[in-house]
Amino acid sequence: MAETDTAASTAATTPPVDTSSADSVTSAPPPPAKREIKRWGDEEDDPPEEPEQNEAPSTSEQPELEVAALKITENKFLDDPEDSNISAVTADDTPYTSASTFEDLNLSEAVLKGLYVEMGFKKPSKIQAITLPMILTPPYKDLVAQAHNGSGKTTCFVLGMLSRVDPNVKAPQALCICPTRELAIQNMEVLQKMGKYTGITAECAVPSDRERNTPSPNYRAPVTAQIVIGTPGTIKRWMSIKKLGVSRVKILVFDEADHMLAEDGFQDDSLRIKRDTEKVSPNCQVLLFSATFNERVTNFVSRVVKRGNNQLFVKKEELSLEGVKQYKVYCPDELTKIEVIKTKIFDLGEKLGQRIIFVRTKNSARMLYQQLSDDGYSVTAIQGALNTEDRDKIIKEFKEGLTQVLISTDVLARGFDQQQVNCVVNYDLPVKYSPGPRSQPLEPDYEVYLHRIGRAGRFGRKGAVFNLICDDNDELVMSKIEQYFDIQVPEVKNTDEAFEEALKTAGLL
């Protein structure tokens, strides 16, 4: 419970924020009769997925939630000029009013208590204000929602699931599919905290070593939990062995939806789960959330989601977080990279918060871990080849603050929410593996880049990112990333002074 202060902070903040939003919170003169436009608070754009301990982020750096309208049907919904950057929101012909308070949403007393007491929230973040009415207002339409990293997307779908469950029906009614075990567990923790007073039951469907070693499908009883959050393989398996019945499912959520529906992601599994669910629950509402939706996935996604047409998107040029300063560091060779990690990220980074170092392969995670520990540095490393027990332990230690520096593959690139992380290192830049001959230059993986750097700067906090640039291809990849997101990433020389200066600029020292 760090509630007292957390509460105050995350939610609270109230704001001194830039006038743009604060004032209008209440003011909104209801224009046309039917739709009154209220403002949402902007200061705390997001109750981070796991919002507990926070101090109020300084308002100055709050990320703007710029939402570009994908499709604006009738009405322009937002007539306040200050909101002009937020277009979006369109429902075929259903008008929605954004929620300026949680009370506007008809949530149960138990859920409200969870929000205020357990989570410490005071009012909806921008993405919550916009999407919650869409999620909770009948007829329940599907939704595709994009919002910045750390802006509170988890709360949107967790509230959606909690609100739509009928407490009297003891069967799965809400399903949430996530790309990794860690994210599923984290989302479950948020759900249990937020839903603490509701009595709603939930179960996590993730791989476990125990389960893997159990040959018989009778190793478990049928799921009676009302909400199930898990990874695609386990969900699929439970469904196929008839332990997870989906005939009562009313709401199906895909977290990190762009990846869940990407061809090189979990498309097959996701579509199968969706199809099998809809077969017996044709009216099931589908929610897709992510911070990234590239053009290709977006086209596909729009075809997949049929019930209604509520969509929210953010232009890629407005997607990187203001509060997270990005840098590049030229390292002539691998040894220099390791030296930078030791002298800058560890030694000089003592004064920083927690740090995550992203590497490309499981093997480099192991190797880097080995080299650093051999040299006496205190660090842990996580990657998918570890057994589940070890993965859980490493995450637990990091979340408890027992470890300060964590090496990770892209298992943690998406969704991982630890507010004390204020520094991210791309030891290897994220690249896509293009099919065909190995000789081609590697293309940047823009989405992964954005997700990785979003591990810092949760909830509008400040952060710093260091990209280690080793060869010509790295340099090319980096410049493409800058171009794509329309950002400039300055160089930091490999000296203590330069790093200190960079950290100061980022507001971390």
Partner DNA sequence: AAAAAAC
Give the binding site for DNA (CB under 7 A).
179-182, 205-207, 212, 230-237, 240, 264-266, 269, 360-363, 383-385, 409-411, 432-433, 445
> Where would I find the H helices in 177-227?
181-194, 209-212
Nearer to DNA, 179 or 353 (CB): 179
Nearer to DNA, 145 or 235 (CB): 235
CB of 424 to DNA, least distance (A): 17
CB of 291 to DNA, least distance (A): 15
CB of 290 to DNA, least distance (A): 14
Nearer to DNA, 307 or 366 (CB): 366
- Structural element, H or E, at residue 156: helix 153-164
> Where would I find the H helices in 57-125?
109-113
CB of 227 to DNA, least distance (A): 17
Nearer to DNA, 138 or 215 (CB): 215
Nearer to DNA, 102 or 238 (CB): 238
Nearer to DNA, 55 or 269 (CB): 269
Is 51 within 8 Å of 121 (Cβ atoms)? Answer: yes
Is 309 within 8 Å of 274 (Cβ atoms)? Answer: no
Is 198 within 8 Å of 108 (Cβ atoms)? Answer: yes
Nearer to DNA, 215 or 376 (CB): 215
CB of 212 to DNA, least distance (A): 6
The position carrying tokens 């830039």 is 18
What is the Cα–Cα distance from 109 to 115, expressed in whole angstroms?
Answer: 10
Long-range contacts, 391-400 (Cβ 8 Å, 24+): 391/181, 391/182, 392/185, 395/182, 395/185, 398/354
Q: What is the DSSP letter of 160?
A: H
Buried b (16+ CB within 10 A) or exposed e, 136-153: bbeebbbbbbbbbbbbbb
CB of 215 to DNA, least distance (A): 8
Single-letter residue type at 502:
A
The position carrying tokens 């930091």 is 492
First-to-final CA distance of the chain: 28
389: CB partners within 8 A, 6+ apart:
209
Nearer to DNA, 124 or 179 (CB): 179
Nearer to DNA, 148 or 236 (CB): 236
CB of 293 to DNA, least distance (A): 16
CB of 430 to DNA, least distance (A): 7
CB of 393 to DNA, least distance (A): 15
E-strand stretches of 18-168: 143-146
474: CB partners within 8 A, 6+ apart:
429, 468
Q: What is residue 438's three-state secondary structure?
A: coil
